[in-house]
Amino acid sequence: MADEKKVQEEFLMFRDKPMVRCGNTIYYGDMRDPFVVMLSITSTKPLGDMEVADRVVVQLLSTDQDASPRERIVKKSEKKGLYAAIDIGEIWLKRALQQAAGE
């Protein structure tokens, strides 16, 4: 319980899962779970005085340390815009975690 509260204080939370950004890569999900989502912003476009994500590669990744990097990729897609990428990533993660809990 204390660990969960500590995670919530350290990271941005989206739908009860941590979201961490490092450069143009965003990780969504808890690394203690069997799966996480990686969002890689591959291109941006100007919007007013800001740069916003244009193309985003979405990957559902296994957190299994014994698997090779190539085997860790469960699903992969490219979306136009960050909202669409987060939306599909959240759906994939939810389904994968439900399936892993049922097994």
Q: Which of 52, 66, 21 is nearest to 39 (CA)?
A: 21
C-alpha angle 26-32-23 in degrees, rounded to nearest 5 = 15
What is the sign, positive or negative, of the torsion defined by CA atoms of 40, 42, 47, 50? positive
How is the chain split into domains, by residue range?
2-102
pLDDT in the model for residue 48: 92
* DSSP one-letter string for 43-66: EEEEETTEEEEEEEEEEEEE--TT
Q: Which pLDDT does position 74 carry in this prediction?
A: 94
For residue 59, give the nearest of 73, 45, 71, 47 by alpha carbon: 73
Residues with pLDDT less than 70, the chain: 1-9, 103
Contacts of 98 (CB under 8 A, 6+ apart): none
What local confidence, expressed as pLDDT, does residue 88 receive?
96
pLDDT at 15: 85
The pLDDT, as a whole number, for residue 16 is 86
* Per-residue pLDDT at 18: 92
